[in-house]
Amino acid sequence: EVQLVQSGAEVKKPGESLRISCKGSGYSFTTYWISWVRQMPGKGLEWMGRIDPLDSYTNYSPSLQGHVTISADKSITTAYLQWSSLKASDTAMYYCARRKYFGSGSYGFDYWGQGTLVTVSS
């Protein structure tokens, strides 16, 4: 059974660093890219970026490039989303999702993690 299991909720102060994780199991971890998707309070879903676990190649949404870092450790089938200096506006639910090829040049997310709630408050 394919599973993406995310780390637990976090409460942090502005300026602190944080790394949350997403562990994949039940499939070949290096075969599928992992994306991170943000849901800010009361808002919709927003794609943040993705990583190819095979070689750690990454793409970021232009609006978030430089503020977050996506990484992966294929030896432990885990992807990460990291901040070096959190802001209050980073308060959100964060999801990881597995990207699958559906043919005709089309990619979508076929499995999602359960979400990690990050709260940043002084």
**Cβ at position 4, least distance to other proteins in Å:** 8
For residues 29 and 115, give the distance between their C-alpha atoms in angstroms, rounded to a whole number.
19
**122 in contact with other proteins (CB under 8 A):** no
Question: Which part of the chain contacts other proteins (CB under 8 A), choosing from 7-15, 17-25, 79-87, 97-105?
Answer: 97-105
Write down the residue that tokens 């979400």 correspond to: 115
Residue 58: enclosing H or E segment and its boundaries? Answer: strand 57-60
Report how far residue 107's alpha carbon sits from residue 99's, in angstroms, rounded to the nearest whole number.
6
Contact 80, 19 (CB under 8 A): yes
Is the Cβ of residue 57 or residue 102 nearer to other proteins in the bound state?
102
Binding mask 18-57 for other proteins (x = CB under 8 A): -----------------x-x-----xxxxx-xx-------
Q: Does 66 bind other proteins (CB under 8 A)?
A: no
Q: Is 112 in the site for other proteins (CB under 8 A)?
A: yes
Q: How far is CA 24 from CA 4, 10, 12, 80, 86, in A?
A: 5, 20, 25, 11, 26
Q: Can residue 107 be called a binding residue for other proteins (CB under 8 A)?
A: yes
Residues in the site for other proteins, rule: CB under 8 A? 4, 35, 37, 43-47, 49-50, 59, 61-62, 95, 97, 102-104, 106-115
